[in-house]
Chain A
Amino acid sequence: MTAIAPAIAVEDLGKTFTLHTQGGLQLSVLRGVRLAVEPGECVALADPSGSGKSTLLRCIYGNYRPQAGRILVRDGERTVDVVGAEPRAILELRRRTLGYVSQFLRVIPRVPALDVVAEPLRALGASRAEAMAQAATMLERLRIPERLWRLSPVTFSGGEQQRVNVARGLAAGHPILLLDEPTASLDADSRARVVELIVEARHRGAALLGTFHDAEVRDAVSTRVATLHEAAA
C-alpha cells in the first residue's frame, strides 16, 4: 500500500523570537517539533498556555517565520513546504487549501459581515450571488441575526465577532483547517453550533489542527490529542 503524505507534516520545527527592541532578548518557543495530521483527523494540542500552540498554528499558516525545520502541507497533488515558500505560493495555499480561524477577528471598517464571510468564496471564483448566499447560510447556522448581516462587525460584541470569524474561516470548505481557540468568548449555544461545523468538516475529510481551551469542546471535536513537548521528545 502506498503511503499517502499527511495533510500536514511538521518536521523538526524551531521558532525563536529575537526582540531587537529589547536588547536582543531571545525567546525560544518551539524546538524540534514534530507532528502529522491526516485527512479526517482533528488533532487537538493540549499543552498549557504559553507553550507555543498558537505559534505553531501561525507557523503552519505562514504568518510566523520559523528558524528551522519544515512544514509540508498537501495542496492537491503537490506538497508545499511553507518554510521558505514564496509569498505568492503561500497566498495561493491559503486561498485554496489552508483555512485559519484565529482568536479574534481583524475588523476592516465599513465591510459588512456578509461580505467578510463571502470573501474567501469570492477568492475561489464564486459569483457574488453564490458567495453571498453561502455566507448567509453560514451566518444563519451561527445564529447571527439577519439584521446584522449588512453591518460592519466593528460594533458587534466579542461573541458575535468571533462567530463571524468562524464563519469566514469555515465558509470556503478548505481541506485543511487551523483553529486557534475557535470558541473563545462564545456562550454554550454558540459553542455547540461551532462544534457542529467543525465535526462536519472533519466528516467530509478535512484535516484539522487546533487548540481548544474548553475540555468539552475538545472532546467533542478532536480525534486525537497531541502535545508539542511530547512530540519534541
Chain B
Amino acid sequence: MSTDGERPLLRVRGLTRWYGPHVGCLDVGFDLWPGEVLGVVGESGSGKTTLLGCLSGRLVPTAGTVEFTTREGSSVDVLRMSEADRRRLARTDWGVVHQNPRDGLRMGVTAGANVGERLMALGVRHYGAIREAALDWLGQVEIDGDRVDDMPETFSGGMQQRLQIARNLVTRPRLVFMDEPTGGLDVSVQARLLDLLRTLVADLGLSAIVVTHDLAVTRLLAHRLLVMRRGQVVESGLTDQVLDDPQHPYTQLLVSSVLQP
C-alpha cells in the first residue's frame, strides 16, 4: 500500500464543530493514507455526518485542521484555502457520493452529460471525446452503454447510485467521500454496489472515507474504522479488529446488536 516516508493523503487534527451548545463532532483526528478506506460508523446523532461535512468542505468547523496532499506532493490547508481552490479541488481530486443519488446528479440532463460534466468544466471541448469518456465510465460502473442518452430519472436507484459514482470518478479523484452509499437500496442491489466499490477502490488506488451505520458495509469496504458516539471517536483501528475484538463498551453494543441472518 504505502511505504514509510510517504505523506498521508489527509491529515486531520482536533476537528470540532459545535451547533450552538450542542456538539456535532469533537476533537477528531486521524491520518488517511493513499489507497486506504476509512469507515466512520455510529448511530444517528453520532456526529459522523457532521464529520464528513467538515472534511468535504460542506460545513465550516469550529476548530481543527485538515491538510490534504496534492498530486504534486505539496500539503494544502483545506480549511484555509480560497473558495476557488476548494471548489476546484472538489471537482477534480475529490469525489462526493451522496446517500441519495439525486443529490449528486443533475436529474435534468442525460447520463452522458452527467458523467462528462467534470471534463467539460476542466476545458475539454471535443464532444466526441467527452462522449467516449462517458461511455467508458458507464461501462466501468456496469451501466449499459446504450443508456448514455437516457435521463437519470429512468434509472433504478442502484443505477442512479452507480451513475453518481461514475460522475465523480471521471477525473480520477484520489479521495472520495461517501455518505451511506448503499442506504435506501435493496439488499441485492447493495451487494452489487459494494462489490463495484471494492473493485474500483482496489483498481484505482482510491482513498475513501465512508460514513455508514451499517457494519456489514464497513467490513466489506473499509480497512480502518472510526466508531463515533455523541460526536466523539470512542474507538479506532483495523476494521476486522474493531468488529471482532471491540474494546469500548459502545462498540461492543453496536457489534452485538447486529442481526446475523
Contact = CB atoms under 8 A, between A and B. Distances in A.
Do A and B pair up? The answer is yes
Given A108-B195, A108-B220, A122-B202, A64 B1 contact: no
Given A19-B252, A110-B192, A63 B245 contact: yes
Given A20-B252, A62-B241, A110 B1 contact: no
A141 interface: no
A36 B136 CA distance: 52
Interface in A41-97: 58, 62-65, 87-88, 90-92, 95
B192 A91 contact: no
A137 B215 CA distance: 34
Interface in B214-228: 220, 223-224
A65 B241 contact: yes
A19 B247 CA distance: 9
Given A108-B220, A110-B195, A63 B252 contact: no
B241 A88 contact: no
A58 B244 CA distance: 10
Nearest to B224: A87
Contacts of B240: 63
A108 B197 CA distance: 13
B253 A95 contact: no
A95 B3 CA distance: 13
A145 interface: no
Interface string B225-257: 000000000000110110011011100110010
A165 to B, nearest CB: 15
B226 to A, nearest CB: 11
Interface residues of A, number: 21
Nearest to B240: A63
A91 B238 contact: yes
Contacts of A220: none
A18 B252 CA distance: 10
Contact of B238 (A21, A62, A95): A62
A18 B220 CA distance: 26
B237 A87 contact: yes
A122 to B, nearest CB: 7
Given A63-B240, A64-B244, A95-B1, 18 more contacts: A18-B247, A20-B248, A20-B252, A20-B253, A63-B238, A63-B244, A63-B245, A64-B241, A65-B237, A65-B241, A88-B223, A91-B1, A91-B238, A108-B198, A109-B191, A110-B192, A110-B195, A122-B202
Interface of A: 17-21, 58, 62-65, 87-88, 90-92, 95, 108-111, 122
The 4 closest A-B pairs by CB, nearest first: A20-B249, A64-B245, A87-B238, A87-B224
6 contacts: A87-B224, A91-B223, A91-B238, A108-B220, A109-B195, A111-B195
